[in-house]
Amino acid sequence: MKDKARPTHYFLHGIRRALEGLLLCAFTVTLSNCVTEDTFDNNNKGNFEALWRIIDEHYCFLDDKNKTYGLDWDAIHAQYSNRITESMKPEQLFEVCGDMLRELQDGHVNLTASFNTARYWDWFERYPVNFSDSIQRKYLGTDYLYTQGIKYKILPCNIGYVYCPSFEYSFGSGNLSAIFSHLAVCTGLILDIRNNSGGQLTSAQALAECFINEKTTGGYICHKTGKGHSSFSSPEAITLTPAEGIRWQKPVIVLTNRNCYSAANTFVMYMKACTNATILGARTGGGCGMPFNSELPNGWLVRFSAVPMYDINMQLTESGIDPDIHVDITTSDWQNSTDTMIEEAIKRLTATGQ
């Protein structure tokens, strides 16, 4: 019995020693390995530094904008940190922080406090509006059909007209099939996305997938893998898969203006890859970086572009996408309540149908 017991005794003794060592090691590691994040104090300087660092570590276009127009984020820090004093009121701090963010020239970048939202809206405010809902009403009337935010009807010339003002809604295949089923008798389709400032990428993709018959690369996407300005993953293809419901097989003209932004800009990027689609109107607003949120120690919310998307030629569409046919609403048409873009689209689709 003794011979049998000895190896077991030594084995158990060994386990006990190992456990003692493990516990000692565990306590040592615990004390030295708490996961925390360096944060800034909730004062003017601290909040400014926190904002600058969030953009420095997370914003995805710093390198690209450095090449495009010479944006130097370190120089921006030097320039704006001099304006920060502890005696500033929150409104004054907000103004300086907002000015600094405007250097990024990005509509997806916002700073939100309870009293204001800092924004960069030059991407559409400095350009022709090219859309009027009053003029649109002349074409759309009041007898249009309406589902998931989409208004649609058959125009007198047997052209289908679909107005999609937002991608905030989730489109089911049932919604989209119902629309295209109703418009099936039409000879062509006008898909108007003017003033669509974005929403869900999945909705933009679902709509684009109604215009393809085989798997198509719509663009590329990547993301930051670390804090460095050039730390990105390899771009991966965004594959559009043909919709399961009714798909549009006839010509389609997509109407755009400068206020097509974010997911609407991405939709245009996808439609550029569709063979029977023509983009008509004005250059889109851009916004090809999916925005993320973060916050400052004082609670102000920061929004910034985080996930860049590229077109099929691996070009960023951050500054917008040019239409295939450039058309602006003319001054005389404004005065006559005529939508130049819709008229031009009808003319082209009618000619194609004949």
Partner 1 sequence: MHKVLTILLFLLIPILSFAQENSVNPLSLRSHSTMLGIGSNNQLDTYLSPLEYTGTEVRFIQENIKPTRLLSGRVSMQNIIQANFSYTKSPTKDSKYLSGLLDWSLALHYKWQITPALRIMAGPQLGMHGGGIYNTRNGNNPAQLRLALDINASGLAVYQFQLFKRSIEARYQLDFLLAGMVFSPEYGQSYYEIFSLDQGKHNVCFNSPFSAVTANQMLTLDIPLGTAKLRLGVENVIRQTHVNELKTHDWTWLFLVGYVKQFSLIKPQHER
Q: How far is the CB of 128 from partner 1 (least distance, A)?
A: 29
Tokens representing 112 are: 């939100």
How is the chain split among helix, strand and coil, in percent rounded to 5?
40, 20, 40
Site for partner 1, residues 53 to 112, rule: CB under 8 A: 54, 58, 60
Binding segment (CB under 8 A) for partner 1, from list 10-18, 173-181, 267-275, 336-344:
10-18
* Other Cβ atoms within 10 Å of 36 Cβ, number: 5
**Rounded-to-integer distance, Cα 234 and Cα 224, Å:** 10
Q: Which of 66, 68, 181, 231 binds partner 1 (CB under 8 A)?
A: 231
- Closest residue by Cα to residue 318 from 285, 340, 346: 285
Would you count residue 119 as binding partner 1 (CB under 8 A)?
no
Q: Which of 1, 4, 7, 30 binds partner 1 (CB under 8 A)?
A: 30
- Closest residue by Cα to residue 59 from 199, 228, 222, 269: 228
Q: How far is the CB of 252 from partner 1 (least distance, A)?
A: 24
First vs last C-alpha separation in the chain: 103
In the complex with partner 1, the residue whose CB is nearer, 3 or 143, is 3
Task: Give yes or no for a contact between 275 and 216, defined as CB atoms under 8 angstroms apart.
Answer: no
In this structure, the strands spanning 289-295 and 301-310 are antiparallel
Total residues at interface with partner 1 (CB under 8 A):
47
Q: How far is the CB of 225 from partner 1 (least distance, A)?
A: 5
Interface residues with partner 1 (CB under 8 A) are 12, 15-16, 19, 22-23, 26, 29-30, 33-37, 39, 42, 50, 54, 58, 60, 201-202, 205, 221, 223-227, 231, 233, 236, 238-239, 290-295, 297-299, 301, 303, 306-307
